[in-house]
Chains A and B, each alone.
Chain A
Amino acid sequence: MSLEKFISQAVSSWMSDDGPDSDIVLSSRIRFARNLDEYNFPTLFTNGEAEAVIGTIMERVSNTPIQNVGQLEMIKMDDIPPLQKRVLVEKHIISPNLAENSIHGACLLSENEEISIMINEEDHIRIQCLFPGFQLSEALKAANEIDDWLEEHVNYAFDEKFGYLTSCPTNVGTGLRASVMMHLPGLVLTQQMNRIVPAINQLGLVVRGIYGEGSEALGNIFQISNQITLGKSEEDIVEDLKSVVSQIISQERSAREALAKTSNIQLEDRVFRSYGTLANSRIIETKEAARCLSDLRLGIDMGYIKNISKSILNELMILTQPGFLQQYAGGPLRPDERDIRRAALIRERLKMESKEESGG
C-alpha cells in the first residue's frame, strides 16, 4: 500500500483537522462513564452478563440512529487481531484496558472516529468524544446528545445523592473526564513547566504526559484533565478546565515570543537541526522522533518553516507508534526493525509535503 493511501485511511479527524487554538491544543476529549442498572459492573460480571450488556445496547440502539452522527460501526474485541486493537489504542479511540482485559469488550465507532462508545470497559458504557483543537464545550455538547439518546433506550444506574454510579468511586457523580492534549515546547524550553504543574494540581486538575511507555511528556505534549467528578455540574467542570487551559495557552504564547526575542538564532538552529534529523536519519527511536517532531512543529508555528502542514505533529506522533508501524509493514517487527521503519516512514511523509508543494 502506498503511504498516502495508508495515511488517508489511518488518520482520524482529530489528528488532521484544524480546530480553534490548534497551534497549542492538539485535541479535546470528553468522556462519560455510565452503567446499566440491571447488571453487575464489569468488576464482577459473568460472561453471560457481558454478552447481555452488548445485546441490550445493540438491540435498543441499532434501530434508532443518532442525529448528526450517522451510522456507528460495532467493533468487537474478540473479533479483531491484537495488532488492530493496538492501532485503535494508539489512535486514542479505545483504552488499553478495553483492548487487553475486557470480557466481551466492544466499541461503537462513528465514521469520522470522533465518537466512540466503549462497551464493557471498567464501566458498561464509556462515551467518548474526541475533537481537534480547543473544543471542550463542543465535545461536551456532542457527548450529552449521545448520552441523552442512549438514555432513551437503556436504564442507567443513577442515585439521587451520588449521581451516575460507576465501578470506581473516583468517577462517580458526573462520570465526566474532560481532557486536552497540549503542545507546550515554549514552557518546557523556558523551564516553566516545573512551576506550572503544581499550580495546576492545586486547582484540582491532573497533568500527565501523553504517550509512550510511561506518561513522561514525550514530544512536549501534556494531557490535562479534571480529577474531581462529584459535586460540580458538567458545565462547571468543563468551564474550570477551559479557564486553566486558556491561561496556559497565553503563557505558552508569551514563552514563544520571549524565546523568539532572546534566542532567535538558537531556536532557529534547533528547529532546522531537528528537521534535518527527521528528513535524513535511517534509524530513529520513538523518543528522538517525538523530540524532533515537537521542534519541527514549533518551527512551523513560529514561521521558520513554511510549506509543511501543521497536522504533521499529530499525525506522525501516532503513525510512528509500534502498532501503526507494524500495520504499515504488514507484520510483526522487532524494536530495532521498527526504528528503521520509523525513520523511513518519516522521510517519506516529509517528501510527500514537498511533492504537494511543487504540485500546487
Chain B
Amino acid sequence: MICQECNQRPATLHFTNFSNGEKTEMHLCERCAQEKGEMFMMNNGPGFAINSLLAGLLNMEPAFPEQKKEAYQAEQVLQCPQCSMTFPQFVKVGRFGCATCYDAFREQLTPIIRRLHSGNFIHNGKIPKRIGGDLHLRKTIDDLKLSLKNLILQEEFEKAAETRDQIRELERKLTAGQEGGE
C-alpha cells in the first residue's frame, strides 16, 4: 500500500477514524504522518508516538462547527481552575494539564472522547480498590444483575434465587454505607 499523502513511499501507519458513525481511513508513510502530527510531537525521529498523530487529527477537525466557533469565542474562554489551561490550549496541544481539566472541560470533552474511542465515553473497566469507594459495590451489583438475567434465561432458577439474594444484600450495604457516610 502506498502513502496517500505523498504517493511515493509505502504506507506504514494506518488509521481508522470513526466520527458521527462515518468511517474514514488514512494510510500514511512515517514521514507524512510525522509532518501531519508535527506540531504535537514532543520529540522528532525514532520516538514518534502514535498519540501525537491522534492529537494532530483532533486539531485538524475543528472541535466545533465553524459558526459555533465564533459564538464561542465571544463567550468567556473555558479554563481549568486548577492548572489554568484553557480549552483552546488543550485542543492545540492535545494534552491535559491536570486531572481537574477533565471536570472543567467535561461538556466539550465528551464528543472528542467519543470520536477518539469509537463512540465510547464511559469507563467500563478497572476501578481502583482504595479510592473507588462504593463504585466497586455498584459495579458488582451491575455484574450480578447481568448474570441473574442470564440465569433466568437458562432457567437455572435455584442459582438465580441465590444471586437475587446476593444483590439484595449488596444493595442493603450500599444504602447503609451512604446513610452512614452522611
Residues of chain A at the chain B interface (Cβ within 8 Å): 35, 37, 39-41, 43-44, 89, 95-97, 99-101, 122, 144, 147-148, 151-152, 155-174, 176, 194, 197-198, 201-202, 204, 206-209, 212-217, 227-234, 237
Contacts and interface: CB of A to CB of B under 8 A. Distances in A.
Nearest to A200: B14
Pick the 4 closest A-B CB pairs, nearest first: A231-B120, A96-B47, A163-B123, A214-B30
B118 A231 contact: yes
Contacts of B132: 158
- Give the one of B10, B13, B117 with max A CB within 10 A: B117
B42 to A, nearest CB: 5
A287 to B, nearest CB: 13
B2 to A, nearest CB: 10
B121 A230 contact: yes
A160 B94 contact: no
Contacts of A157: 99
A44 B85 contact: yes
B137 to A, nearest CB: 13
B48 A215 contact: yes
Contacts, number: 184
A214 B97 contact: no
Contacts of B55: 168, 170
B74 interface: no
Contacts of B15: 201, 206
Interface stretch (B65-73, B108-116, B148-156, B162-170): B108-116
A50 B103 CA distance: 23
A229 B129 CA distance: 20
Given A151-B128, A233-B125, A228 B120 contact: yes
A232 B53 CA distance: 23
B78 interface: no
B25 A201 contact: yes
A148 B131 CA distance: 11
Interface string B74-115: 000000001101000000011111110011000001001100
B147 to A, nearest CB: 15
Contacts of B30: 213-216
A147 B97 CA distance: 23
B6 interface: no
B117 A43 contact: no
A212 B96 CA distance: 30
A284 B49 CA distance: 28
A241 to B, nearest CB: 14
Nearest to B117: A230
B146 interface: no
B interface majority secondary structure = loop
Given A41-B99, A44-B85, A97-B43, 15 more contacts: A41-B97, A96-B45, A158-B127, A162-B102, A164-B123, A165-B102, A169-B113, A173-B124, A214-B31, A216-B30, A230-B117, A231-B123, A232-B120, A234-B126, A237-B125
A37 B101 CA distance: 12
Contacts of A213: 30, 45-46
Contacts of A122: 42, 49, 51, 95
Contact of B83 (A44, A160, A169, A232): A44
Contact of B49 (A89, A97, A204): A97
Given A44-B85, A158-B131, A233-B125, A197 B1 contact: yes
B135 interface: yes
Contacts of A234: 125-126
20 contacts: A39-B98, A40-B83, A41-B95, A41-B97, A41-B98, A97-B42, A100-B47, A156-B131, A159-B103, A161-B122, A162-B123, A168-B95, A170-B51, A197-B14, A206-B50, A217-B12, A230-B113, A231-B118, A231-B121, A233-B125
A359 B102 CA distance: 63
Interface in B1-55: 1, 10, 12-16, 25, 29-31, 42-43, 45-51, 54-55
Nearest to A148: B129
Contact of B16 (A155, A194, A202, A231): A202
